[in-house]
């Protein structure tokens, strides 16, 4: 079965300074403040300071990001604009 749920989409956040991700299908853009990704569940933006991609294996859908992570935001998989919501309660 191919589709958004056929590949696991997991985020493990360690002490807000290291994120390990599964289900990454592409990198849209990145700099030290924002990493924008395509995942099997939609677009994901990771915001923070001093962000650095330390591992990227698109063939396996894996990525590791280090830095001071302040927010994780998904865009609806249907590509409709949605209000950004932070996992940390900051809008």
Selected from 3.40.720.10, 3.20.20.70, 2.102.10.10, 2.60.40.2000, the CATH number assigned to the domain covering 11-74 reads 2.60.40.2000
Per-residue pLDDT 10s for the chain (91 aa) are 344 446 788 999 999 999 999 999 999 999 999 999 999 999 999 999 999 999 999 999 999 999 999 999 998 655 555 455 566 655 5
pLDDT at 75: 85
User: Which residues lie below 8 Å from residue 8, measured CB to CB, with a gap of 6+?
Assistant: 22, 23, 40, 61
Q: Which of 47, 13, 54 is nearest to 31 (CA)?
A: 47
Please tell me the distance from the alpha carbon of residue 36 to that of residue 59, in angstroms, as a whole number.
Answer: 18
The ranges assigned to domains in the chain are 11-74
pLDDT at 8: 82
Write the Ramachandran bin of 55: left for phi over 0, alpha for psi from -120 to 50, otherwise beta.
Answer: beta
């Amino acid at each position: 079965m191919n589709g958004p749920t056929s590949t696991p989409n997991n985020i493990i956040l360690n002490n807000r300074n290291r994120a390990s991700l599964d289900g990454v299908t592409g990198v849209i853009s990145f700099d030290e403040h924002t990493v924008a990704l395509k995942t099997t569940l939609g677009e994901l933006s990771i915001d923070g300071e001093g962000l650095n991609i330390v591992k990227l294996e698109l063939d396996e859908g894996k990525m590791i990001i280090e830095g001071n992570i302040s927010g994780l935001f998904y865009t609806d998989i249907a590509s409709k604009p949605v209000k950004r919501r932070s996992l940390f309660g900051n809008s």
